[in-house]
Amino acid sequence: MKGLRWRYTRLPSQVEDTPSGEGGEEEEEEEEEEKEAAPDPALEDPMEPQLTEASQVLGASEMRQLSLYLPPSVTGHSWSLAFGTARDGFSLRSLYRQMEGHSGPVLLALKDQDGQLQTARSSAFQMFGAFSSSAFQLSKGFYGTGETFLFSFSSQLKVFKWTGSNSFFVKGDVDSLMMGSGSGEFGLWLDGDLYHGESHPCATFNNEVLARREQFCIQELEAWVLS
């Protein structure tokens, strides 16, 4: 009697149930390729915001960099110049008046006189400011949300976000405008004439001194409504 010859056919369930050393490795490799292919948002080239008029403080590069840190709620909105010292003069009262009727976020950008002198010597642009989740207004206490942040430019952009330590975001009175506080110091403080200012490290944002010196004189200031 001739010997029987057996034919082995792999069942569908066995095809799917492959050893971990084969299909598992292929799946891991595919996942790694997908991760590598995913773009890094920080490396994407952001779109330049649409401005209602030219800025005397912000350049195209600064605007694109800042747009990466703005909350999604303002992405795609045009920037409207609500107040500018070149147009409206140096007065905090005037800034408050120009803010009336606005409730949306505001980007405050300024450069000091030291920065202007540095620009003339070495073409380096020194600018700093803040993003406020609410329009600037007279207030008895601090207001705003955790979306508020401080920023500065020297060789590159530095953004100082809310630490969660306190909620001293923004406070405005007739004599000064303050952003961030802790231990009696303010992250950014501007006087009623919008000519003198101060910047100190504070608990709200754990920021560095925004200007080259803790006390500075304002060369130019703008407040942009982002809504």
For 41, phi then psi, to 5°, come to -55, -35
Residue 200 lies in a domain: yes
Q: What is the pLDDT of residue 40?
A: 43
**Which pTM value belongs to this model?**
0.76
Q: pLDDT tens, 192-207?
A: 999 999 999 999 999 9
Q: What is the pLDDT of residue 46?
A: 62
Nearest to 113 by CA among 186, 197, 53: 197
Q: Which long-range contacts (CB under 8 A, 24 or more apart) does 178-182 make?
A: 179/130, 179/132, 179/148, 179/150, 180/150, 180/204, 180/205, 180/207, 181/142
Residue 101 lies in a domain: yes
**Into how many domains does the chain fold?**
1
Residue 84 lies in a domain: yes
Range of the domain at 141: 60-113+124-226
Three-state SS letters, 153-201: ECCCEEEEECCCCCCCCEEEECCEEEEEEECCEEEEEEECCCCEEECCC
Residue 153 lies in a domain: yes
Nearest to 223 by CA among 125, 124, 134, 153: 134
Nearest to 199 by CA among 123, 137, 112: 112
Residue 15 lies in a domain: no
The span from the CA of 72 to the CA of 121, in Å, is 38
H or E element that contains 112: strand 106-112
Residue 173 lies in a domain: yes
Q: What is the pLDDT along the chain (227 residues), one digit of tens a residue?
A: 444 444 444 544 444 444 444 455 554 444 444 433 333 444 455 667 788 889 999 998 999 999 999 999 888 788 999 999 999 999 999 999 999 988 889 999 999 986 544 444 444 447 999 999 999 999 999 999 999 999 999 778 999 999 999 999 999 999 999 999 998 999 999 999 999 999 999 999 999 999 989 999 999 999 999 97
Compute the Cα dihedral for 86, 92, 93, 99 and give only its sign. positive
Residue 99 lies in a domain: yes
The span from the CA of 179 to the CA of 160, in Å, is 12
Residue 17 lies in a domain: no
Residues with Cβ within 8 Å of residue 186, at least 6 apart in sequence: 178, 179, 180, 198, 199, 200, 202
Nearest to 172 by CA among 130, 209, 208, 206: 130
Count of CB atoms within 10 A of residue 114's CB?
15
Q: pLDDT tens, 44-84?
A: 556 677 888 899 999 989 999 999 999 998 887 889 999 99
DSSP 212: S
Nearest to 198 by CA among 150, 161, 166, 156: 150
